[in-house]
Structure 1
Amino acid sequence: MVFDCKSALECVMRKDFDPETVKADGRSAAKGFLFDPTAPGPWRGSLAGETIGSPVTVLAYGNDTPGEGPPLHVHPYDETFVVFAGRARFFVGDQVIDATAGEAVLGPAGVPHRFVNLGPGRLQTIDIHHSDRWIQTDLA
């Protein structure tokens, strides 16, 4: 069962579609290596969707240094950033968006973007590339 919880006390059972209208496509469940949680330094890793038969690629990113982050870059597909620890400032085209743990930010296809750790402390993100492989052009 999937629940739509608007608060810790209010959960509603969801039924967004009729399961009889969707047929399995024959793929098996799969797993792949994203990152080594015991490795020192920035927590980084990637798992190409094509490795596990998925239409999305997942990156794990983290750093402990305020002001640090990936360089300005662009993708030919959307990227969704999920902040799950710390605070980040995203630069997406002409927009500046601050996000904290529990928030997600969209970087639309073809729009240059980057982000930095606002501190204090560690920034951890999961970055979802809407492509079965990571395709990127660095601009800075």
Structure 2
Amino acid sequence: MTTRFATPEIVRGSRVTMEEAVMELLPITGSVEVQRDTPNREHPTHTHPVDETLLIIDGTITFTIGEQSWTCDSGDRLLLPAGTLHSSIAGDEGCLYIIKLMEMKSA
């Protein structure tokens, strides 16, 4: 069953390893994406057609949604509903994170 997010949310957590992050987000059948951003790498404002969960493994990244920004580090999760306008910039040390895409089921 796919969980839908009503609003963007940051869930603070404790430090995780790559294996812990992958195993936490890996669906029963499917895959996750590993993303590495170089220091200060910027992702300009954009959207995604599906819900996403991002779990930070190492480094920091600042997400901006509307007028609000959050800096996340290891163990923190961003729950991002489909269609949410957002941007991000990696911290001075860069950032390593896992992305779980939650595809919408057709009726």
TM-score normalised over the length of structure 1: 0.48
2:55 equivalent in structure 1: 82
List alignment gaps of at least 5 residues for structure 1.
Answer: 1-48, 133-140
List alignment gaps of at least 5 residues for structure 2.
Answer: 1-26
SS in 1 for 2:71: strand
Higher relative contact order (CA 8 A, sep 6+): 2
Aligned equivalents of 1:110, 1:76: Cα separation in 2: 6
2:73 equivalent in structure 1: 100
Report the residue type matching 1:113 in the other structure: H
Aligned equivalents of 2:75, 2:82: Cα separation in 1: 23
Q: CA contact under 8 A between 2:54 and 2:78: conserved in structure 1?
A: yes
Deviations 1:63-108 (A, max 9, x none): 2322x13332212321111111001100124431111111111111
* Residue 131 (1) aligns with residue 103 (2): yes
Aligned equivalents of 2:58, 2:49: Cα separation in 1: 27
Give the one of 25, 36, 55 matched to 1:62. Answer: 36
SS in 1 for 2:43: coil
CA separation of 1:98 and 1:82: change in aligned 2, threshold 3 A: same
Report the residue type matching 2:72 in the other structure: A
State how many pairs are aligned.
78
CA separation of 1:93 and 1:76: change in aligned 2, threshold 3 A: farther
Q: CA contact under 8 A between 1:92 and 1:107: conserved in structure 2?
A: no
Identity %: 26
2:12 equivalent in structure 1: none
